[in-house]
Amino acid sequence: MKLKSQPEDFVVVEENTVDWNESGPFAVYRVTKTGLNTFDVIEQLARQFGVTRARVNFSGLKDRHAVTEQIVTVLHGPRRDGGGDNWRAEFAGRANKPVKPSTLVGNRFTITLRAIRADEVPVIREVIDRIRRTGLPNYFDDQRFGSARHGQGFFAKAAIKGDWEEALRLMIGCPARKDSARDKRARSLIRDGWGRWKEIIEKLPRTHERALVQYLIEHPGDWHGACNRIERNLLGLTLVAYQSWLWNEMAAEVFREKVKDTEELAYSRGVFVYPLSLAPEEEAGLRDFELPVPCHRADIRGDDERARVERVLAREGLTIAQFKVDLQKHTFRAFRRKILIRPAGLALGGFESDPLNPGLSFVRLNFALPRGSFATILIKAVQRRKLLEEGEEAEDEGEAAE
């Protein structure tokens, strides 16, 4: 069974709340793209429309290896379409307010699974029926963790411990397999030439990383200052990445405690625990169960919940108070998250002959998820490729859209 044999096999359409008003100051665009990440498109759009990056707003990141559609707003943007290689921005009207993460409702997915063997067909049907009955664990998936999913550590953990050189190295000196060619080249140069900034500066493409290297040439050894110059959106993503992994650890613990019939699947940073069935009392106990994302401002409710947070942090050698780090542009976000969701409109199409894989079949899945939930958590349940065996190490599952 294969996922993403081609970009068209993973289609994501954003559902957003737009405050439409033809006299409003914000131009609204429907942006479609493939082969590019959201930041790449936003930078190109800003240049094409002659506006600063600060005037461009969007609600969430969409996968590079997919066909995606999302809403973008531009303060005083032009009433015209835009576009470039592998992306297009269609002018849709004007609005009173920009879109942002809080205006995102969710995402609709159409996913094609290919190279399906005959013996996998009943397994796929059974898993889809099971998810309709039990719901889906609301884990954060691999793509949330950036280079940390390749075993390179979390920027945020190093920052919490005050190791600013290590934090910066994890940010700009750790190339990842799924990086763009430009980013991979820049981060490889920095990794191999760490500390020899004057030697490598002219070899670096004009990226965010180059600006930080220039700062270190002018301020040798000021690792903390360099970290405080990381682009704000990127900094926010790296902080929440570590929080998300900690939340996953707590959620897996809850499923182990509260559900008898479970299955464990390995992923790049640990283990996902999926319920295989739920007794009525188990379902009632999980229906509205939430967990806080750990940080010093977390909304922790009750002694049991506090003990759960402290327990997972103790395994990392941390306390809640340590999350109050000295970063000028961002801090750790405080929010709560349901541990179990129900995909809306979950539909399994018919199994048909796969033209890309003769002798095998393909099938399409359609469903919608609330904002912040990951379609690949459902796909991993279907694929069941990485059942955790004793002594087996987890590997990277690859990227997908949030």
- What's residue 401's pLDDT? 35
Residues 6+ apart with CB under 8 A from 315: 249
The more confidently predicted of residues 395 and 356 is 356
The more confidently predicted of residues 165 and 388 is 165
> Mind listing the pLDDT tens digit for each residue in 174-213?
887 767 788 889 999 999 999 999 999 999 988 889 999 9
Q: What percent of the chain has pLDDT over 90?
A: 78
Residues 6+ apart with CB under 8 A from 119: none
139: tokens are 């884990």
- E strand or H helix at 31, and its extent? strand 26-33
- What's residue 385's pLDDT? 60
> Mind listing the pLDDT tens digit for each residue in 293-339?
999 999 999 999 999 999 999 999 999 999 999 898 788 999 999 99
> Mind listing the pLDDT tens digit for each residue in 114-171?
999 999 999 999 999 999 999 999 999 988 886 555 567 899 999 999 999 999 999 9
CB 89 within 8 A of CB 29: yes
| Cα-based distances in Å from 276 to 7, 12, 279, 340, 342 | 31, 27, 10, 13, 14
- What's residue 147's pLDDT? 57
Cα gap 37→19, rounded to integer Å: 26
Q: Average per-residue pLDDT in the chain?
A: 90
CA dihedral 306, 312, 315, 321 (to 10 degrees): -50
190: tokens are 């920095």
20: tokens are 């439409």
Read off the pTM. 0.87
Cα gap 28→112, rounded to integer Å: 30
According to CATH, where is 1.10.1510.30 located in the chain? 153-234
pLDDT at 43 over 70: yes
CATH superfamily of 1-133+342-402: TruD, catalytic domain (3.30.2350.20)
> Mind listing the pLDDT tens digit for each residue in 336-355?
999 999 999 999 999 999 99
Cα gap 371→101, rounded to integer Å: 8
Which ranges of 175-329 does DSSP label H, i.e. alpha helix? Answer: 181-192, 197-200, 208-218, 223-227, 232-258, 280-286, 303-315
Domain 153-234 top-level CATH class = mainly alpha
- What's residue 150's pLDDT? 52
According to CATH, where is 3.30.2350.20 located in the chain? 1-133+342-402
Confidence of residue 399 (pLDDT cuts 50, 70, 90): very low
CB 181 within 8 A of CB 37: no
